Amino acid sequence: MEKFSKYYFLGIGGIGMSALARYFRTKGYEIAGYDRTPTKLTSDLQSEGIAVCFDENVDQIPDKFTQAKNTLVIITPAIPHNHPQLLYFQENNFTIQKRSQVLGDITRKSKGICIAGTHGKTTTSTIAAHLLYQSQVSCNAFLGGIANNYNTNLLLSNESNLVVIEADEYDRSFHQLSPYMAVITSADPDHLDIYETAAAFRESFEHFTSLIRTGGVLIMRKGIDIEPQLQKGVKLYTYSMEEGGDFHAENIKTVKGEIHFDFVTPTDRINDVRLGVPAKINVENSVAAMAIAWLNGVSVEELRAGISSFSGIYRRFNVVYKSDKVIYMDDYAHHPSELNASISSIRNLYPDRKITGIFQPHLYTRTRDFASDFAAALSKLDELILLDIYPARELPIEGVTSELILSEVKLKNKILCSTENLLPLLKDKELDVLVTFGAGDIDKLVPKIKAQLSK
């Protein structure tokens, strides 16, 4: 990559792509890119001096990025094969790499701490990065969410060779990495449009474990149904929330709306740790992140301070609005297991209150493959408002609509609603605890819902 002075990103507005764009920008390279729609993230990139276009026509590529000899093109798997700009770069012999290939190169030049899992990886990697970054150890990090503590998805350090990376299983991207340490938070089947079978999905995680360098570490949640394929000299540790393992929590309790627990390691115990983000779902993620930090030399005092000062991630169990009448939360949960965990955490926080959930399914294939599981999770709400499927990179599949989920939801209070009709619907409802869930464009509705509630 050193021979290139310019980097052009196809899909620059993605959370992972934008972190890479920011990284190369800080290194002094010229950066530009394309994305389909303007977002807050693309606006932030533009304010940082990065040129972003939203028209896929080739003439939108800045002239200085049309020289194949000095421009590296980085793409996300979500870019379609017939995208005009991609075809232009291919036809003119540009060097084109996937985001995962670039991250792989970074891990080979540093000590990569790679966090993998169907769910939990963004929160775990962000907590781990925060624990390391605020300690004397420090780190670099490419995160899959905007860390509230830093208002960015990229952390840089001149003092550390550690780099925390979210290891994405989609399109087998994490097979490009060369981890020094790795965490597997979960391996519940997903992305069956790519893997086809649950067995193939699990095998992909097993291959990921084989990539950990000799002398490295794997930290795996206890009970995950995979057989690690570790190189000689790689240490295996297990962790859990309350089910034992090398690292685990004990004495979890809620004190005046705050969650406290004891953190147990193979040799140490840190009593009465206060969790900065009061959601029980984050105890398990914190145990994994603290294990990484502990193994890399973060002190007991720094661990305690780091966990209590962690302020969460944008769209990960965020309290958006709170008044005497209503609490409004927003969460990125888009897999049945994530919904289960999130709804359980909300129920734990507000056991005697009515919980209304707004869910936007993400992808036709995921809806088709897990409709019954989605319905089971959403049935734990008191009331459900179900939106249309957000297609992302996919074309419609005949017979696959949100009705597949709704028909199996065991709630009396359930309704299908379009995004256009959501605000008028909410206006006439008596709300107590309201939560929006989903990984699509539901985040665009969050400020509008907040504004309406505040009136």
Domain ranges of the chain: 6-98, 110-309, 318-454
pLDDT in tens, 21-38: 999 999 999 999 999 889
Give the model's pLDDT for residue 1. 58
- For domain 110-309, the question of CATH label 3.40.50.720 is answered with no
Q: Tokens for 34? A: 């394309």
Give the model's pLDDT for residue 95. 97
Q: Which long-range contacts does 411-414 make (Cβ < 8 Å, 24+ apart)?
A: 411/378, 411/379, 411/381, 411/382, 411/383, 411/384, 413/382, 413/383, 413/384, 414/383, 414/384, 414/385, 414/386
Give the model's pLDDT for residue 190. 80
Among the residue ranges 96-100, 143-147, 190-194, 230-234, the one predicted with the least confidence is 190-194
pLDDT in tens, 282-331: 999 999 999 999 999 999 999 999 999 999 888 778 889 999 999 999 99
pLDDT in tens, 116-164: 998 889 999 999 999 999 999 999 999 988 999 999 999 999 999 999 9
Among the residue ranges 2-16, 186-200, 296-310, 379-393, the one predicted with the least confidence is 186-200
Q: What is the Cα 96 distance to its own chain's centre?
A: 25
Q: Which CATH class is domain 6-98?
A: alpha beta
Q: Are 360 and 438 in contact (CB under 8 A)?
A: yes
Topology at the third CATH level for domain 318-454: Protein-Tyrosine Phosphatase; Chain A (3.90.190)
Quick one: what percent of the chain has pLDDT higher than 70? Answer: 100
Give the model's pLDDT for residue 2. 65
Give the model's pLDDT for residue 255. 79
The answer to whether the 6-98 and 110-309 domains have the same CATH topology is: no
Q: Are 192 and 369 in contact (CB under 8 A)?
A: yes
Tokens 């012999």 belong to 93
